[in-house]
Homo-oligomer: A and B are copies of this chain.
Amino acid sequence: MSAKLWLTQLQENGYRLTKARSAVVEIVQKSLRALTPVEVYDMARKKYRALGLVTVYRTLEKLEELHLIQRVHQPMGCQAFISAGEGHQHLLLCQNCGQVAFFEGDDLDILTKSIAKKTGYKIQEHWLQLFGLCANCRVN
């Protein structure tokens, strides 16, 4: 029922509740893999035919702004989105089926401190992403 929570979030931030938004939210929220705007469009239109692609872009923009989704960077492209994890999480992507798993992993402090010392940089953020095969794809 987390889709309802997302809609509530939108509402609480002054955005209106519409059929278009509901359709987009429903698709993106429950997806286990990152979806491109066009993919969201195609899938959501099965629920709400009148939906326009432009609205998908605009809705994704708002969801990202509210940190409900995040952009996923991959070698093949960076225009896909996945529902964001709670707090500070990293992604683990299946190179075969695209399924996304989240993990926490801030054992990076030691590393970042040593890098900071070596380079003179003040480190403020980090991106860590793992790629591999999920339990299913591993077998086949």
Contact = CB atoms under 8 A, between A and B. Distances in A.
Nearest to A101: B119
B107 A121 contact: no
Interface residues on A, range: 20 to 34
A65 interface: no
Interface stretch (A10-18, A21-29, A110-118): A110-118
Given A78-B73, A92-B119, A122-B138, A129 B131 contact: no
A128 B130 CA distance: 9
A135 interface: yes
A101 B118 CA distance: 10
A125 interface: yes
A9 interface: no
A40 B26 CA distance: 42
Nearest to A115: B103
Given A111-B107, A115-B105, A126 B121 contact: no
A128 B106 CA distance: 12
Nearest to A102: B119
A123 interface: yes
A51 interface: no
Interface of A: 73, 78, 92, 94-95, 101, 103, 105, 107-108, 110-112, 115-116, 118-135, 138
